Amino acid sequence: MSALSVQNLSHVYGPKRALNDISFELEKGQFCALLGPNGAGKSTLFSLLARLIATQNGRVSVAGHDLKQAPLKALACMGIVFQQPTLDLEASVWRNMTYFAALHGLRGREAANRINGALDRLNMRNRSSEKVRALNGGHRRRMEIARALIHNPQVILLDEPTVGLDAQSRTAITQHVHDLAAEGITVLWATHLVDEIVPGDRVIILHHGEILRDCNVAEITQDCSLQEAFLRLTAAPEAAA
C-alpha cells in the first residue's frame, strides 16, 4: 500500500484546465519534489490533496484511505504546510500548537508530549513561549512544520514552504524535511527552486497541469544540471513528452 496515491486527477476552473490526468504514487519514507514553474498547477494539486476543494475527476488516497469516501481518516494521516502562513501571530508558539493539536482531538498531557516532541524535532522547543510575531520567517516556517507533525502523520505536504526565506533558512528547512523522510514520513514538497532538491530525491515535473517527468533526480541530470533539465523541459513540454 502506497502512502499517497493520486490516480487520474483532473481539475478545471471554468474553461481553464488546471490539472490534466495526473497520476503518481509515493511510498513510505519517500521524499518527492513536485517541481514546476508558477502556474503549473502545484497549488491546485495541494488544494485537492488537502480537500480544500473537491476532486472533480480522479482519485486520491492517503495511507489507504480514499479522500472522497473517508475524508476524515485521510486528513488525519496528513500534515500540511501551506504556502501562505496559517499562524495566529498574536498567540505564542505553544498556543498555536495546542490549538492545532485540539483540532486533531489531542489535549492535556498527550498533546503536551506530542508538541514537545515535534518542537524538539525542529529544534524549536526553546521558542515555545515566544509570541509568533516575534519569530523570524525561518523560525515561523519551522514552527509550522513542527505543528504539522503533532498528530504523527504518515504523509506531509509542503507547498513552497521556503518562499520568502533567506538562503540559510531555506537550507536548514530543506535539510530538516529530508531528515523527516529518512525517519519514515512520506514527503511531497512543492517548489520551483531546483536547489532544494538533492540527488537521490524523486522529482515530478509539473507544467501546464501535466506531469512532464516523474523519475529520480539522477535520471535527468546525467548530462546536465537539474536547473538546465528543468528549463529545457518546461520551455518545450511537447518535445519532452
Partner 1 sequence: MNAYLTAFQAIAGRELRQFIAQRGRFLSALVRPLVWLVIFAAGFRAALGVSIIPPYQTYITYEVYILPGLCAMVLLFNGMQSSLSLVYDREMGSMRLLLTAPLPRPWLLFSKLSAGVFVGALQVYAFLGVAALFGVSLSPEGYLLAIPAIILAGFMLGAFGLLISSVIRLIENFATVMNFVIFPMFFLSSALYPLWRMRESSVLLHDICALNPFTYVVELIRFSAYGSFAQLPLAVVLGCAVAFFTLSCLSYSPARTGPGMKSN
Residues near partner 1 (CB under 8 A) are 13, 43-44, 46-47, 50-54, 72-73, 75-76, 78, 80, 82-88, 90-91, 98-100, 102-107, 159-160
Rounded CA-CA distance 105/72 in Å is 12
CA-based R_g, the chain, Å: 18
In this structure, how many other beta carbons lie within 10 angstroms of the beta carbon of residue 125?
16
* Shortest reach from residue 54's CB to partner 1, in Å: 4
* Shortest reach from residue 36's CB to partner 1, in Å: 12
Cβ proximity to partner 1, 102 vs 236, nearer residue: 102
Cβ proximity to partner 1, 24 vs 46, nearer residue: 46
Cβ proximity to partner 1, 102 vs 235, nearer residue: 102
* Shortest reach from residue 232's CB to partner 1, in Å: 26
Cβ proximity to partner 1, 30 vs 43, nearer residue: 43
Cβ proximity to partner 1, 185 vs 190, nearer residue: 190
* Shortest reach from residue 220's CB to partner 1, in Å: 26
> What are the percentages of helix, strand and coil residues in the chain, rounded to 5?
40, 25, 35
* Side-chain-side CA neighbours of residue 127 (13 Å): 25
How far is C-alpha 144 from the geometric centre of its chain's CA atoms? 12
Cβ proximity to partner 1, 81 vs 194, nearer residue: 81
* Shortest reach from residue 70's CB to partner 1, in Å: 10
Q: Sheet harboring 186-191: ordered strands across?
A: 78-81, 155-159, 186-191, 31-35, 202-207, 210-216
* Shortest reach from residue 181's CB to partner 1, in Å: 21
Cβ-proximal residues to 173 (8 Å cutoff; 6+ apart), any chain:
138, 141, 142, 145, 161, 162, 165
In this structure, how many other beta carbons lie within 10 angstroms of the beta carbon of residue 69?
10
